[in-house]
Amino acid sequence: MGHRERLSVVQAYRFALDLSPAQQRALAAHAGAARMAYNWGLERVKAVLDQRAAERSYGVCEEELTPAIGWSLPALRRSWNAAKDEVAPWWRDYSKEAYNTGLDALARALTNWAASRSGKRCGRRVGFPRFKSRRRSTPSVRFTTGAIRVEPDRQHVVLPRLGRLKLHESARKLARRLEAGTARILSATVRRDGHRWYVSFTCEVERAQRTPARPCATVGVDLGVRHLAVLSTGEPVPNPRQLEAALRKLRRISRGLSRKVAPDRRTRRDASKRWERVRGQLSRVHLRVANLRCDGLHKLTTRLAATYGTIVIEDLNVAGMLRNRRLARRIADAGFAEIRRHLAYKTQWYGSRLMVADRWYPSSKTCSGCGAVRTKLALSERTFTCTPCGLVLDRDVNAARNLAALAATVAGSGPETLNGRGADRKTPLAGLVAVKRLPGTATAGKTGTVPPQGRTSDHALTPAS
Ligand SMILES: [Zn+2]
């Protein structure tokens, strides 16, 4: 056997479960215990925070305020252990991991909120945690200790307190790794998605370090709306074949559902039998759409990471785009954020590298032939036409080629351009600004082009971490 470098990664394996009604009840009860501990802790923290705020408003000085309480996981656990006999005398009925799941989620939520408020956390503001409702929250419970294993028949798993649970599918991929000693289970999370329970094992996996098939090749990927993606090689990657059909079915069933008698909590009206049945259908089609999309994305990203040495994608402002209602559904479908996340870890597995062009890089408006930048390009223009050099090319292929070319011009990699909240700043277009536009090269109101100045490498092209 040749000597190969090994790479240690954390990876999840997820399997659907086939449970008996008693097992489903046991799982739901564990998830309920987790939710109960979460709400209990939140109520306590909130009461102290509110009390302190009220005291401050009366002018009580800082030293005399009600003492603050810790919200780290150990602190929450200590206070839970002190109070559980009183607030949950039945606590012995469920695994202690259930309460830990809830308290851990609460500790994270509070830490994120505090970090966001003080500006230490990047991205969108994180609000104060809310109470978990039985209706709205996803039931889940995580086990980190105790008997967690895959049975030798690969059709069953064993979890603490819950015992042997039947899998809907074979766990052979994980079992092989466990038997070979290249995987170690760190935790197991059971959660209900729609009508089905799933178990997901978080594992530390030793993977053989691989090299992509074409280590010197670079590919630009333009994530699209009409296609899943268009590559700089000119290849369009279509959306999964059955996705459109599933979406049509989804629309039809939703229309039908709106004509049935829905439950109404204000008037205490129960849903009709037909409403319940159609809603079951709807959730199954939703799941199918999600699965098809997920499958398409995985196939694309695995192929890219295993083939090309360098992959260049654009940093798209997905949150901003989702506000556009007309395109919203389709863009959400394409799962841009998912593609980037997949590529980030798969490039690690396959030894390729992912580069992300900042979101102001005009990949669509730049001519991939001569580098001229058009000032305007309507979204409806599907073909890119360059006046200076006469290039006519599919809009998406042109954009993908620009992304690929960007990797070639940027020798090193610039530092990540982030501001305090984590939103990236626009990199100054030094090259473009320096070029003085001659009078008469572009008249007002007309689509013009900035004179070519060679591709600038001022745009932040950052290796994704
Ligand atoms: Zn051109």
Q: How far is the CA of 387 from the centre of ligand 1 (A)?
A: 7
Neighbours of ion ligand 1 (CB under 5 A): 367, 369-370, 372, 386, 389, 391
**Is residue 297 a contact partner of residue 338, using CB atoms and an 8 Å limit?**
yes
Can you tell me the mean pLDDT for 427-431?
A: 36
**What is the mean pLDDT of the segment spanning 78-100?**
92
For range 434-445, the mean pLDDT:
35
**Out of 16-25, 283-292, 386-395, least confident range:** 283-292
Residue 222 among the catalytic residues: yes
Confidence at residue 327, expressed as pLDDT on a 0 to 100 scale: 55
Helix 73-87 crosses helix 21-57 at what angle (to 10 degrees)? Answer: 110
Residues recorded for the chain: 465
CA of 269 to the centre of ligand 1 (A): 65
Q: 351-398 pLDDT, tens per residue?
A: 999 998 887 888 888 999 888 888 888 877 888 988 888 889 998 999
Helices 21-57, 96-117: axis angle to 10 degrees equals: 40
User: Is 410 in contact with 357 (CB distance < 8 Å)?
Assistant: no
Contact, 346 vs 251, CB < 8 A?
no
Count of CA atoms in the C-beta half-sphere (13 A) of 35: 18
* Cα separation, 5 vs 7, whole angstroms: 7
- Measured in angstroms, how far is the CA atom of residue 367 from the centroid of ligand 1? 5
Distances, alpha carbon 28 to alpha carbons 24, 97, 98, 182, in Å: 6, 14, 11, 33
- Residue in this structure with the two tokens 């610039």, named with its chain if needed: 414
Q: Nearest Cα to 221, choosing from 301, 141, 140, 323? A: 301
**Average pLDDT of every residue of the chain:** 82
In the set 97, 314, 315, 358, the catalytic residue is 314
What is the band of 456 on the pLDDT scale with cuts at 50, 70, 90?
very low
120 contacts: CB under 8 Å, gap ≥ 6? none
How far apart are alpha carbons 111 and 114 in whole angstroms? 5
Active-site residue, selected from the candidate residues 104, 222, 315, 333: 222
CA–CA dist 370, 325 (Å, integer): 35
Residue 6 banded pLDDT, cuts 50, 70, 90 = confident
With CA atoms as reference, report the closest residue to 167 among 144, 183, 190, 145: 190
Is 9 within 8 Å of 345 (Cβ atoms)?
yes
Share of the chain above pLDDT 70, in %: 83
Catalytic residue among 97, 315, 333, 396: 396
**Has residue 128 got a pLDDT over 60?**
yes
Span 159-182, pLDDT tens digits: 999 999 999 999 999 999 999 999
Residue of 72 and 361 predicted with greater confidence: 72
Strand, helix or coil at 227? Answer: coil
Q: Which amino acid, one-letter code, is at 268?
A: R
Could you tell me where the beta strands, DSSP code E, fall in 57-160? Answer: 140-143, 149-150, 156-159
Q: How remote is the CA of residue 458 from the centroid of ligand 1, in Å?
A: 20
* pLDDT band for position 326 (cuts 50, 70, 90): low
The answer for residues whose C-beta is within 8 angstroms of residue 291's C-beta and 6 or more apart is none
Q: Which two tokens stand for residue 319?
A: 């949150």
CB atoms within 10 A of CB 129: 20
Map tokens 């004509």 to a residue.
259
Ligand 1: distance of its center to the CA of 320 in Å?
A: 30
The sheet carrying 236-237 orders its strands as 236-237, 229-231, 214-223, 308-314, 353-357, 461-463
Note if 85 is an active site residue.
no
Active site residue 153: no
- For residue 361, report the distance from its CA to the centre of ligand 1, in Å: 17
Distance 369 CA to ligand 1 centre (A): 5
- Angle, helices 336-350 vs 325-334, to 10°: value is 20
Q: How far is the CA of 366 from the centre of ligand 1 (A)?
A: 8
402 alpha carbon – ligand 1 mean position (Å)? 12
Closest CA to 394 of 238, 231, 241, 244: 231
The DSSP symbol for 451 reads P
Sign of the Cα torsion 443, 444, 447, 450 reads: positive
Crossing angle between the packed helical segments 241-258 and 273-307, to the nearest 10 degrees = 160
Reported pTM: 0.74
Q: Give residue 374 CA to ligand 1 midpoint distance, Å.
A: 9
Rounded CA separation 109/178 (Å): 33
